[in-house]
Structure 1
């Protein structure tokens, strides 16, 4: 099969498209022909070597955490899926024509949801919903600030917080304030404007998707004993301010992912896609994704 292979740490030129052995399906596993895979920040962080201290990686390696496609084979003991099913999943080695992953990684995709749109969902939507539902856990009426609210993880966190009845403030850059008004939140704040931050109400919690100076700037607005949930490690000074910090990494959840797929098919949760590239153009695709902006970048077969 064709795959995008990481040959070592460095710039995008360490990525190469080449033939690799097709993965074999084992007991409890599902083999999928990939329609599209999405690019996430973790991919270029791995490529650059940012995570090599805590990551056991053997070269050549195939990057890619989420895909969508069609089931071509199932292993023994698999009853939830059969060949021909349209699925999306939180996997490893997604930059390829074929992927194998455990049953619990996969969720069926509704007929009304395009597989390319589905490929943008698994990692970011599970991260955003788990951030809110498992770590911030706001009650009805509590005030939550979501940093990076226009990003894919942030949009997913807004979606989950709204379902819990929280009062939501969207934290974005000053140039994004007008666009963030379209999220349908209770308030929008420019995290790069100290005067704007000053008008924030007292917060019960912060759901942080960006880290760094953005979250540090708002910690003083969180009530004593309030919660900071984060996907980027403990913010400096949070515990010293008497805040509860919960840092985590997303985990597979087939049931929740299937619910998310239904919500996306209905248009209740939208993750914008900015560009699509062929697998052969993975270097350019990752370069574009790394530059940032609103919208996921996909690799399509």
Structure 2
């Protein structure tokens, strides 16, 4: 290998807001170097999340991305090639799962730099694609259930009646599986074609979101929901409200301006029913817990589709479309 080729890698990047899949360009860029507390990974799989295209569209400006050009995507599985100063948990050759910094991205490339603090070991039983699906989607489901909805995943505590919307999507599929580790009754909504899948993940009741009951979100067994893990978009508070128990809450994992306004209004009126906007805070120990569950066969990553890096634009178009069943993976 000549010196030139050795220090360059293939990547996809975009140079301005907007443009969708067509805005992604195949480029050769220098392989990044790990700094203090970082590891350099050779990527084996990257999973896409809706936030990736939202950043490109400019919906999170001026925070994300920090600068252009930007290599998108953050959820990765790979092999440690090199460790930066101060790294103690990993060495070259270790297989890992990690989430990269959203400010910097870097997932749609051959190599990426990850913080040791957001990287966990990946046991040999877990294929790269399954591992790469976990970070943002799995951690969002975990945080919504354990922190916001108060579900204890060891099965203790009183029963919690849950509604999970868009249960066949990236976050929803993990939310159903994780919820059923706790003492819960799960009602889930999804499209007609995914009802059997969502039942197989453990949901007690499944609604086709296009039917009258699906539109009103009524539980077939007449239950009121203690918490809603809201993974869909475009459902107004007025649809949730009559279905909630006295202290029921809607945990909105993609809160927009309207959700934040509703949240403020409910606070002002001292309503016991609450809309809770959730911002994900990735934690290493929680990611480690999810990886262990996959290893033990208690959690699985449902994969919608896999694309080689040469067709990553197709994966991007698919995540923007919003109808994937489970996770979309780019895998060399």
Question: Once structures 1 and 2 are overlaid, which stretch shifts more, 175-184 or 134-143?
Answer: 175-184
Distance 2:242 2:131 in 1: 38
User: Which residue, out of 324, 327, 330, partners 1:293?
Assistant: 324
**Does 2:209 correspond to 1:191?**
yes
For 1:184 and 1:248, locate their aligned partners in 2 and report how far apart those are by CA, in whole Å.
Answer: 24
CA distance in 2: counterparts of 1:67 and 1:121, whole angstroms: 9
Relative to structure 2, which stretch is displaced further, 31-40 or 249-258?
249-258
Map 1:1-301 onto structure 2 (within 5 A): 1-8=9-16, 9-91=18-100, 92-138=105-151, 139-195=157-213, 197-198=217-218, 199=220, 200-213=222-235, 217-233=239-255, 234=259, 237=262, 239=266, 242-291=272-321, 292-301=323-332
Write out the 4+ residue segments of structure 1 that deviate beyond 4 Å after TM superposition: 235-238
SS where residue 52 of structure 1 aligns?
coil
Query: Whole-Å Cα distance in 1 between the matches of residues 237 and 187 of structure 2?
Result: 13
Structure 1: gaps spanning 5 or more residues: none
Counterpart contact for 2:237–2:262, Cα < 8 Å? no
Distance 1:160 1:273 in 2: 17
Question: Is the Cα–Cα contact under 8 Å of residues 145 and 170 in structure 1 kept in the other structure?
Answer: yes
Shift of 1:175: 4.7
**Aligned-residue offset at 1:14:** 1.0
* Further displaced range: 222-231 or 102-111: 222-231
Structure 1: distance between partners of 2:205 and 2:318:
31
Structure 2 residue runs without a partner (length 5+): 1-8, 152-156
When the two chains are superposed, the root-mean-square deviation of aligned CA atoms in Å is 2.2
Partners of 2:298 and 2:182 lie apart in 1 by 15
Q: Distance in 1 between matches of 2:314 and 2:40?
A: 28
Query: d(CA) in 2 for partners of 1:269 and 1:117?
Result: 10
2:148 and 2:71 mapped to 1: Cα distance?
30
1:170, distance to aligned residue in structure 2 (A): 1.3
2: distance between equivalents of 1:265 and 1:32? 21
Rate the CA distance shift 1:192–1:236 in 2: closer, same or farther, 3 A: farther
Cα offset for 1:236? 6.8
- Matches of 2:300 and 2:198, distance apart in 1: 14
Q: Judge conservation of contact 1:147–1:154 (CA < 8 Å) in 2.
A: yes
With over 3 angstroms needed to count, the CA separation of the structure-2 counterparts of 1:214 and 1:294, relative to structure 1, is farther
Q: 1:225 to 1:257 in 2, by over 3 A?
A: same
Q: Is the 8 A contact 2:262 2:275 kept in 1?
A: no
